[in-house]
Structure 1
Amino acid sequence: MKYQNDNFYILTGGPGVGKTSVLNELKKNGYIVMPETARAIIKEQMEIGGEALPWKNKESYMRLMLETSAESYREAISQNSSLPIFFDRGILDAVCYARMVGMEVSDKIQKIAENYQYNRKVFIFPPWQDIYETDNERKQDWQEAEATYETMKKTYQDYGYEIIDVPKDTLENRKDFIIRTIKQEEIR
């Protein structure tokens, strides 16, 4: 089944760029926010001693990321909202990960990416070294963070999405930029 939801907005980018903080602000403002699946997978796999981790079994990790992202999409549909719903990363983030680690993007993965469509405008957070930190789930160094941003941008563009860079600014201004951009689109 093919889904197209123009009120589903992706916020993406490399690690440690402030995207989750902005999503938390959007949630405080009454918007529905679908949490990041990749980080949840890493945390869960570490707790259970699982193998589906980016530093252990990249293929299992990517497959779980793809499956949980599609599940998150279907869950958002069940919200039955005409208001914007914001996603902390989207299905194509799993495709980006596969590309970064040299995995083949199979026909099955391709079909999932094509069948779950979000709003064509994707908000991407550029690398910002001043706020970048690593932690238990985020182990990428600064160069990997920059490379992730570039690959993410290219992946979304390859699938026909329009990239909108979120400016490096205060949390409030970043949130306002996203809301303002969406409202301008609604007026057109």
Structure 2
Amino acid sequence: MTAGSERFVVITGGPGSGKSTLIDQLQGMGFARSVEAGRGVIQDQTAIGGSALPWADRARFAELMLGWEMRSFRMAAEEAGPVFFDRGIPDIVGYLRLEGLPVPDHVHTAARTFRYHRRVLIAPPWPEIYEQDSERKQSFAEAERTYEAMVAAYTAYGYELTHLPLAPVAERARFVTTFVKR
């Protein structure tokens, strides 16, 4: 699963830190991207009355996110050039640990098998832009704990973290495009 994965760039961090907005901007600049698994699963489960939701069945929610992320990885292999991921498989490990749930062996195997660029971009907590919505129900304190869980998860799988600047989206996008040219 590592062939070409150096062009798969993960942007992670806590909720409400500007990741998806940045990835939308990068897509507008012509870059390929994935769609965040958590938000997609929440939208799908809500639409069908499912229970695999972070406020109902966290373990099932994590399993659906895992399937989504593995599919996103395979789809990215069909793209040319860099692909930006709105979170990655190690995020699921961080989520499970944050929620006090066991991390199944197959999730660890997935995190070791589906590899991304060795340097992961991480968005630090940013209280000035943090907002809750119908899918993002966490408090800002929970967003900070999520950020710490992502730092721990990605570091545990051998990734180097590069912090995104707390800057307007256009400036962040310039920072990221410089990053991918290295």
Q: Same fold (TM over 0.5)?
A: yes
| TM-score normalised per structure 1 | 0.94
Query: Which deviations, in whole Å up to 9, do the C-alpha atoms of 1:14-69 show, x marking residues without a partner?
Result: 00111111111101111001111110100111111100000000110000011110
Deviation at 1:10, TM superposition (A): 0.2
Aligned to 1:90: 88
Match among 105, 127, 131 for residue 125 of structure 2: 127
Q: Which residues in structure 2 correspond to 1:161-176 (within 5 Å)?
A: 161-176=159-174
- Give the distance between the partners of 2:25 and 2:99, measured in 1 at CA: 32
Size of the aligned set, in residue pairs, is 181
Query: Which deviations, in whole Å up to 9, do the C-alpha atoms of 1:107-147 show, x marking residues without a partner?
Result: 11111111100001100000000000000000000110000
Aligned to 2:142: 144
- Give the distance between the partners of 2:140 and 2:104, measured in 1 at CA: 29
| TM-score normalised per structure 2 | 0.97
What do you get for the CA RMSD once the two structures are aligned? 0.9
**Which segments of 5 or more consecutive residues in structure 2 lack a partner in the other structure?**
none
- Give the distance between the partners of 2:107 and 2:146, measured in 1 at CA: 19
Aligned to 1:70: 70
Aligned to 1:23: 23
Deviation at 1:3, TM superposition (A): 2.8
Q: Any idea what SS the aligned residue of 2:77 has?
A: helix
- Give the distance between the partners of 1:89 and 1:130, measured in 2 at CA: 21
Aligned to 1:32: 32
Aligned to 1:3: 2
Q: Which amino acid aligns with 1:166?
A: L
Deviation at 1:106, TM superposition (A): 1.7
Percent identity (aligned): 40
Deviation at 1:78, TM superposition (A): 2.1
- Give the distance between the partners of 2:22 and 2:103, measured in 1 at CA: 30
Q: Any idea what SS the aligned residue of 2:166 has?
A: coil
Q: Any idea what SS the aligned residue of 2:84 has?
A: strand
Q: Which amino acid aligns with 2:111?
A: A
- Give the distance between the partners of 2:173 and 2:109, measured in 1 at CA: 32
- Give the distance between the partners of 2:168 and 2:59, measured in 1 at CA: 36
Match among 106, 109, 124 for residue 108 of structure 1: 106
Q: Which amino acid aligns with 1:172?
A: A
Query: Which deviations, in whole Å up to 9, do the C-alpha atoms of 1:68-115 show, x marking residues without a partner?
Result: 100110111122x1x111001101111111111111112111111111
**Which segments of 5 or more consecutive residues in structure 1 lack a partner in the other structure?**
none
- Give the distance between the partners of 1:28 and 1:176, measured in 2 at CA: 13
Is 1:182 the counterpart of 2:180? The answer is yes
- Give the distance between the partners of 2:102 and 2:37, measured in 1 at CA: 21
Structure 1 ranges of 4+ moved more than 3 A: none
